[in-house]
Amino acid sequence: MKKNQNKQFAFLLKAFIPAFLALLPLLAAGGGMSTSAKASPPEAKASGSAETLVLRVYFKDNAERDRLAVELTAEEAATTGGYLTVLSDRAGYDSMAARGLKVEIDQAETRVYNDLSRKAQVDPETFFGSYRTVEENYAYMDSLVAAYPTLAEKVDIGDTWCKTHPGSCTQPNSYNGYDMYVLHITNRSIAGPKPVFWFETGIHSREIASPEMATRFMSQMLDQYNTNPDSRWLVDWHDIWVMPHVNPDGHHVVENGSSTPRTQRKNADKNDGCTAYPPTNSSQFGTDLNRNFPFKWACCGGSSGTPCNLTYRGPSSGSEEETAAVANKIRSLIPDQRGSSDTSAAPITTTGIYQSLHTYAALNLYAWGWTTSAPPNVTDLANIGKHMKATNAFPAGNNYTTCQPPSCLYAVDGDSADWGYGERGIPSYTTELRGTSGGFFPPFSDIATLYNENKGMLVYMAKIARTPYLTTRGPDADSFPTTLTVSVIGSVQLNGRINYNWTGNSYLQNVAAAQYYIDTPPWAGGTGVAMSATDGSFNSSTEAVRATISGVGLTPGRHVLFVRGRGVNSYSGFQSWGPVTGVFLDVTP
């Protein structure tokens, strides 16, 4: 990436000043939370010598839990231990204790949170180590479009709050907001309509690991188009929408923290009665975009009506530019497939799937967030979630607990996952990445691990996008090779496995059949060729399968095989075919 003048200026600001300022807390020997914040007198005062404490606040029942979660802005840590995890300072701790709450300091987590040694060195073009800024991620998207012009386009779906309110945004500096860009990945030389996988990150800007997953997923789809057969067929046949920054204004604030990012969670809307800046863990301007979606908005105590609160829901349903842009774009891509009653189930043939990635509770959360009642499609929503978790599924899951938020986290209303399922009827998830050592701000070196453990979950979601509620009832096709080579006068063996037997599968049953397609997949009118059970009969939930593929009659060059299996059961008249696994078939003259 070329440095322009702004970058040079940013370099000075970001590298030299914080490097000097970072020394101050060490010299002051006060320890405490060293933010670049010490740059400005007001924040230096606000943090002072007050160390951030990681607190366990115990609750008596779920009603108290949900009330306290909103009031104290609990972290998204599991609540199954009977307590909420809350970041506060000594004064906050004292006042909680004074009002009779049982509250403890988690000493180990408090040390980790404040560990100065984690502070990464500052790169002129990134922040907090090598995390990319909004500008850099947008430039990265441009570079992908330039490299793969027929496979990727950068789509502007709207303007942020700061861009629609010119002159209003002055923190951390005067700026005029952002366009909201989504990378639309599909091979445009293959006609649609195609099933939609919507994958967004960064709705909570301080959860900085999440956009890094989006850019890696873009790369996996595009840079591996010629080497990874699943990337190939997904890009050819599916509409993949990846939005790295649902909240770019908030991210801009976060980046400014430099040696320690700022903790802005919400957008930059400060016209609703709160101008608190710099952001703290209990007060900041903005609307929580994940409480602003137009479904069950403000319905049930899962959000706050107080503007400085971290779960402030905004003045009205869908009031924020960012929320409206995402909802309207998805509305243009995916039809409303669910009835309007809370108990209306979406049909088994529903198409489209939605992932909104957060950090850092290690959870795959599905609807509903607004009620403890199970959603009408609960069996399938949970089953997709369990596949997202199962490390022995294919592609391998992330090993995060799968659950409905009020039972494992806290009640939430107006969030994107409830909207996606509630309004459109599509399976919608909030995956919370695992917290590594840094909470919201893991050292950049953890990003590779986090992507590695989540890429299988993302690919699975992309694979089942056509009919997720149906396809999750089918088996995985795993253990197939990446590439087979055959000559035009020869033949080759295709070997692999059809497997229902991954941990937690609600649709465990015997495998009944397997098939492959050459170049034209089942949904495009291709002809399936039956594969046989290697042991002679289909009579188990895990079957090794094989076929002999002849090269005679095939054009020399690269072909794509689509392999899949099904179970013995049918559902509403549909056979239980599982997701496709791709294999390259290279035919030599």
The residues in 361-380 that bind Zn ion, with binding defined as CB under 5 A, are: none
Q: Which stretch binds Zn ion (CB under 5 A): 91-99, 124-132, 202-210, 539-547?
A: 202-210
Choose among 199, 251, 245, 195: nearest CA to 220: 199
**CA torsion angle for 574, 576, 579, 584 (degrees, to 10)?**
-90
Nearer to ligand 0X9, 311 or 499 (CB): 311
Choose among 370, 131, 100: nearest CA to 257: 131
As a whole number of Å, the end-to-end CA separation of the chain is 42
CA 65 – CA 74 distance, rounded (Å)? 9
Gyration radius from the chain CA atoms = 25
Nearer to ligand 0X9, 76 or 476 (CB): 76
369 binds, among ligand 0X9, Zn ion, none (CB under 5 to 8 A by kind): ligand 0X9
230 binds, among Zn ion, ligand 0X9, none (CB under 5 to 8 A by kind): none
Nearer to ligand 0X9, 194 or 358 (CB): 358
Nearer to Zn ion, 202 or 468 (CB): 202
Q: C-beta of 204: minimal distance to ligand 0X9 in Å?
A: 5
Q: Can you tell me whether residue 97 is helix, strand or coil?
A: helix
Q: C-beta of 268: minimal distance to Zn ion in Å?
A: 17
Q: C-beta of 429: minimal distance to ligand 0X9 in Å?
A: 7
Nearer to Zn ion, 268 or 533 (CB): 268
> 326, 416 in Cβ contact below 8 A?
yes
Nearer to Zn ion, 132 or 204 (CB): 204
Q: C-beta of 204: minimal distance to Zn ion in Å?
A: 3
Nearer to ligand 0X9, 245 or 497 (CB): 245
CA 418 – CA 545 distance, rounded (Å)? 40
Q: C-beta of 369: minimal distance to ligand 0X9 in Å?
A: 3
> Do the strands 126-127 and 152-159 form a parallel or antiparallel pair, or are they unpaired?
unpaired
Cα separations in angstroms, 191 against 123, 188, 198: 43, 7, 19
For residue 332, the surrounding DSSP H or E stretch is: helix 321-333
Cβ neighbours of 250 (radius 10 Å): 34
Nearer to ligand 0X9, 94 or 342 (CB): 342
Q: What residues make contact with ligand 0X9 under the rule CB under 6 A? A: 76, 204, 207, 290, 358, 365, 367, 369, 405, 412, 415, 417-418, 430, 432
Token pair of 3 as six digits: 């440095």
Backbone phi, psi, residue 569, to 5°: -95, 150
Q: C-beta of 532: minimal distance to ligand 0X9 in Å?
A: 42
159 binds, among Zn ion, ligand 0X9, none (CB under 5 to 8 A by kind): none
| Residue of 118, 165, 194, 204 interacting with Zn ion (CB under 5 A) | 204
513 binds, among ligand 0X9, Zn ion, none (CB under 5 to 8 A by kind): none
228 binds, among ligand 0X9, Zn ion, none (CB under 5 to 8 A by kind): none
> 531, 537 in Cβ contact below 8 A?
no
Nearer to ligand 0X9, 358 or 559 (CB): 358
Q: C-beta of 408: minimal distance to ligand 0X9 in Å?
A: 10
Query: Which DSSP category does 331 fall into?
Result: H
Q: C-beta of 302: minimal distance to ligand 0X9 in Å?
A: 8
> Do the strands 353-366 and 196-201 form a parallel or antiparallel pair, or are they unpaired?
parallel
Q: C-beta of 534: minimal distance to ligand 0X9 in Å?
A: 41
The residues in 336-365 that bind Zn ion, with binding defined as CB under 5 A, are: 358
Instruction: Name the burial class of residue 75, with classes exposed (0-12), middle (13-18) and buried (19+) by CB atoms within 10 angstroms of its CB.
Output: buried
Distance of CA 179 to the CA centre of its chain: 20
For tokens 């939370």, the residue is: 33
263 binds, among Zn ion, ligand 0X9, none (CB under 5 to 8 A by kind): none
55 binds, among ligand 0X9, Zn ion, none (CB under 5 to 8 A by kind): none
Q: C-beta of 325: minimal distance to ligand 0X9 in Å?
A: 18
Give the total of residues touching Zn ion (CB under 5 A).
3
Nearer to Zn ion, 358 or 389 (CB): 358
Query: Which DSSP category does 336 fall into?
Result: -
> 162, 178 in Cβ contact below 8 A?
yes
Residues 6+ away with beta carbon under 8 Å from 311: 70, 73, 288, 291, 302, 303, 304
Cβ neighbours of 343 (radius 10 Å): 8
Q: C-beta of 288: minimal distance to Zn ion in Å?
A: 9
Nearer to Zn ion, 204 or 566 (CB): 204
86 binds, among ligand 0X9, Zn ion, none (CB under 5 to 8 A by kind): none
245 binds Zn ion (CB under 5 A): no
Chain length of the chain: 589
Q: Can you tell me whether residue 248 is helix, strand or coil?
A: helix
Footprint of Zn ion on this chain (CB under 5 A)? 204, 207, 358
